[in-house]
Amino acid sequence: MTALIELSHLTKDYGKFRALSDVNLTLHPGVTGLLGPNGAGKSTLIKLLLGLVKMTAGTGAVLGHDIVKEASAIRAKVGYMPEDDCYMHGLSGIECVQVAARLSCLPSTEGLRRGHEILDFCGMGQERYRNVETYSTGMRQKLRFAMSIVHDPELLILDEPTSGLDPEERQAMLNRIGILSKKFGKAVMICTHILPDVKVVCDHVAILAGGEIRLVDKLAALLESPSPSVTVSLLEGADLLLDRLVAAGLKTSVTGHEQLQVEGETADVSSKIWEVAAASGIAIQNLKASQSSLEEVFLNAVKETKNANS
Amino acid sequence: MPIHNLGYREWEGERLSGGSRWTVVAGIGIQRAWQNMWLRRIAFVVWAAPLMYGVLIFFGEQYLTAQSAVVPPGADRLLAQLLPDEAMPEIRQTLGNLNQMSPEERLTVVRPVLWKAVLLALQRSQMLGLVLVIGLVAPPLISTDVRSRAFLLYFSRPLTRFQYIFGKFMTVATFVSLVLLLPQLLLYAFAVLLSPDISVVAYTWDLPLRCIVMFIAVATPAILLALMLSSLTVETRFATFGWFAIWIFGLVAYMVMFNTNQDVSGIVLRLGVLFLLFGDVAVKVLGFSGVGSNFDTQIIFVIALSAICATVIFRKVSAPMKA
């Protein structure tokens, strides 16, 4: 599988401050979530990928182009949606998208046609003819997304794409990202703090903290529990079932309100759990293989950095 | 979903070459600036001066092509009021020899001097238009992009910083050429049309070129200075104030010195007051002898001013990326 982004020993210093330290990262096609606390170096990493700032040390390539020597070629193939509330002053929405298309070398008329098409895709109606200064945060967010995809990029870098959107719009935005990725094979890198969004759309996750890549893996692999176990959810009677399961020789613990965790492979323990519950007259609401939460994975990765720093 | 919504579609058309990206930046600037009603009014009013000087050339041509050309009484006083002081010595010398000239000599010798003087006078009258137009167009160009953080939208595209700045420069240059260069070229074309035959071009072919050089020498440092002020702040009004303050304070300093009979040919004054600096450059480019003999110093100063302004703009435009 060809790597979309390959970074090797990438380091970036701002004066005496080291923003990125010896970053090694290989990203493959699909949707990758780049997670990290504030000040982790995510924005610096994006600027380096786009060739907007120069690295202090290391090498890197995006879509096969060197990030130092071929920055212009990279920017022609990449669509970037900034997190900042930035806009082109004095222009209407459709003019902004047309300008974005023309800056990526689409002909003027084609830029206008495609601009309308993309704004339709992004769910923008007649407000496209209004001046962008009058737009709400959510509308500007959609406009920036439209500007980032108008030139049909191979790789999309989206910085906080769902921040400032209401739940309905957030879902619509995630659907659009899903369509671009699954239906049109676009590679997407999403920088976000909203972990539920990552769980919905991402295939891979990279966690950046303290200027270092702490973790890169498939999302499914990260969510697998370190030791196999089964989570049992009940409406009532958790204490009674706990006692009965322990008495039956199963290693069981309480993990939440009316929720138990039973250690062992699902296939091995599930039939025994059902039997004990039936014998005890307790109704099981849900029974499934346990997963680690993404929050847990994220916090552990960040904590490791803090511990290493201290 | 609207019935016209085709969803996302891939685009496989042919892309244009990257060399024209600056025209996109310039196009945005021109479109935005043209929405200013005051700019449209000024762009209309500045055409009054070329019309007036066109009439002067018309009567000049009538006089020069007449069978017996004798300098009418009072002509010197009238010309001194209409034409710049720097042009008058050469005009007087030429008109003084008029009686000894053949009709053909009148056309080949007197005409270029008269036209040059008229073009210089037009340039002087259009300087106010230049100051006003640049003051209206340039200050918001970079400052609003800094304020609205549009840099990320521009530079995440394959657009270089040079192309961005050149696009901004050409935005202002378009409007400045509308008030400075275009009227001069049209006045020249008008003068050629009033001439008895096309052979006049052989004696005056250098004038349009001089007008273009004069435009470049005056407009380039002025535009770069205004863009530099725009790049130094996120508040457009501060850049506008800085631009007009430079011109007004310089003019006031000159008027105070002139009215108190102090020497106004000193190099410091002629470099520091932009009206004088650009005026002197224009005089020299059109081939007249100026007030002082500091033309080389003034040209070096103009080039240095342009270079410093361009450097500051590049640094300020690059700064948000490094933050």
Non-local CB neighbours of B125 within 8 Å, separated by 6+ positions: B49
Interface test with B, best of A48, A89, A137 (most B CBs within 10 A): A89
> Any chain B CB within 8 A of the CB of A295?
no
Contact (Cβ atoms closer than 8 angstroms) between residue A55 and residue A44: no
Does the structure show a pLDDT above 60 at A81?
yes
Determine the Cα–Cα distance for residues B16 and A103; give it in Å rounded to an integer: 10
Q: How high is the pLDDT of residue B2?
A: 61
Closest CB to A50: pick one of B8, B150, B156.
Answer: B156
Residue B228: which of B243, B249, B241 has the closest Cα? B243
Q: Count of CB atoms within 10 A of residue B148's CB? A: 19
Query: Which residues of chain B are within 8 Å of residue A73 when distances are taken between CB atoms?
Result: 158
- Give the span between the Cα atoms of A102 and B24, in whole angstroms: 7
Provide mean pLDDT across the span A151-161: 92
pLDDT class for B293, splitting at 50, 70, 90?
Answer: low
Q: Which amino acid is at B104?
A: E
At residue A134, does pLDDT exceed 80?
yes
For tokens 């049992």, the residue is: A232
B4 touches A at CB < 8 Å: yes
Q: What is the pLDDT of residues A164-219, one digit of tens each?
A: 889 999 999 999 999 999 999 999 999 988 888 888 889 899 988 888 888 888 88
User: H helices within chain A, ranges in order?
Assistant: 42-49, 71-77, 93-103, 108-121, 137-149, 167-178, 195-201, 219-223, 238-247, 266-280, 294-309
Residue type, B253: A
Confidence of residue B233 (pLDDT cuts 50, 70, 90): very high
The ipTM is: 0.81
Report the gap between the CA of B94 and the closest CA in chain A (Å). 54
pLDDT confidence bin for B323, thresholds 50/70/90: low
Q: What is the pLDDT of residue B75?
A: 76
Taking an 8 Å cut-off on Cβ atoms, the answer to whether B4 and A120 are in contact is: yes
| Contact (CB<8Å) B148/A180 | no
Residues of A in Cβ contact (< 8 Å) with B145: 88-89
Q: Which residue of chain B has the CA closest to A49?
A: B156
Residue B186, token pair as written in the block: 């049209």
List, for residues A28-65, the tens digit of each pLDDT value: 888 999 988 888 888 889 999 998 888 899 999 999 99
From the CA of B47, how many Å to the nearest CA of chain A?
28
Average pLDDT, whole number, for chain B?
Answer: 86
Side by side, which strands form the sheet with A17-27? A17-27, A5-14, A57-62, A65-66
Inter-chain touch B8–A144, beta carbons under 8 Å: no
CB proximity list for A214: less than 8 A, separation 6 or greater: A207, A208, A301, A302, A304, A305
In A, which residues are within 8 Å of B149 by CB distance? 82, 84-87
For the ranges A35-49, A94-108, A172-186, B90-104, the lowest mean pLDDT is seen at B90-104
Residue of chain A whose Cα is closest to the Cα of B33: A90
Query: Tell me: the pLDDT tens digits for B185-228?
Result: 999 998 888 777 787 888 888 899 999 999 999 999 999 999 99
Mean pLDDT value across residues A248-273 = 84
In a 3-state reduction of DSSP, which class is residue A59? strand
Q: Which residue has the higher pLDDT, A288 or B28?
A: B28
Which residues does B19 contact at the CB level (< 8 Å), separation at least 6?
none
Query: Which residue in B5, B8, B152 is closest to A180 by CB distance?
Result: B8
Range of weakest confidence among A57-71, A257-271, B20-34:
A257-271
What is the reported pLDDT for B3? 62
Residue with tokens 């006003």: B132
pLDDT at B285 over 70: yes
- When mean pLDDT is compared across A43-57, A187-201, A274-288, B63-77, the lowest value belongs to B63-77
B36 interfacial to chain A (CB closer than 8 Å): no
Question: What's the rounded Cα separation, in Å, for the pair B224 and B237?
Answer: 17
Nearest to A105 among B7, B15, B321 (CB): B15
- pLDDT digit string, tens, across residues A292-301: 677 777 777 7
> Do A89 and B150 make contact, defined as CB atoms within 8 angstroms?
yes
Q: Look up residue B146 and give its two tokens.
A: 């800094």
